[in-house]
């Protein structure tokens, strides 16, 4: 692969990593400020539930971007067993978090039908 292409891919990968990490930090700050506002308005129960859901969404979005950066790096720049293992671990964590977030928000696993559809008349 030409050196210019490798240099561009490194910049893109590094940029995606910075964006993913930045979104995690920024999302945590925003979610915490919203929780604090709701908590101070005496909506304690709703504040906790909303905070957990907001943090879950932030983590999922941040991980999506970090997984994209890792995929790009693994298939173009670092074709090693270690980088592929790192990618597999990140994808497994992201998948597990996605499933648990769906369970948290909807009360069912992603592969289960919604309660209204699964109930028989």
Quick: pLDDT tens for 62-76: 888 988 888 888 888
CA dihedral 43, 102, 58, 40 (to 10 degrees): 0
pLDDT score, position 19: 95
Compute the distance between CA of residue 96 and CA of residue 117 in angstroms, rounded to an integer.
25
Mean pLDDT of the chain: 85
Compute the distance between CA of residue 86 and CA of residue 84 in angstroms, rounded to an integer.
5
Is a pLDDT exceeding 60 seen at residue 120?
Answer: no
The residue-averaged pLDDT of 40-62 equals: 85
What confidence tier does 116 reach under pLDDT thresholds 50, 70, 90? low
Whether residue 14 contacts residue 81, with contact meaning beta carbons closer than 8 Å, is answered with no
Most confident stretch, 25-34, 62-71, 87-96: 25-34
Half-sphere exposure of 36 (CA within 13 A, CB side): 6
Higher pLDDT, residue 80 or 16: 16
Compute the distance between CA of residue 94 and CA of residue 100 in angstroms, rounded to an integer.
10
Place of tokens 């270690």: 82
Is a pLDDT exceeding 70 seen at residue 32?
Answer: yes
The residue-averaged pLDDT of 47-64 equals: 87
The residue-averaged pLDDT of 18-35 equals: 95
Higher pLDDT, residue 110 or 57: 57
The residue-averaged pLDDT of 33-38 equals: 93
Which tokens belong to 111? 């592969």
């Amino acid at each position: 692969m030409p050196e210019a292409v490798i240099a561009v891919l490194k910049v893109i990968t590094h940029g995606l990593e910075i964006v993913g990490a930045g979104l995690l930090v920024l999302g945590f700050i925003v979610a915490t400020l919203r929780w604090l506002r709701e908590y101070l308005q005496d909506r304690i129960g709703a504040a906790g539930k909303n905070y957990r859901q907001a943090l879950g969404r932030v983590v999922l979005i941040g991980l999506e971007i970090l997984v994209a950066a890792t995929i790009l790096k693994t298939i173009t720049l670092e074709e090693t067993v270690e980088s592929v293992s790192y990618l597999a671990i990140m994808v497994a964590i992201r998948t597990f978090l996605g499933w648990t977030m769906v369970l948290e928000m909807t009360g069912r696993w992603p592969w289960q039908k919604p309660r209204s559809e699964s109930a028989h008349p």
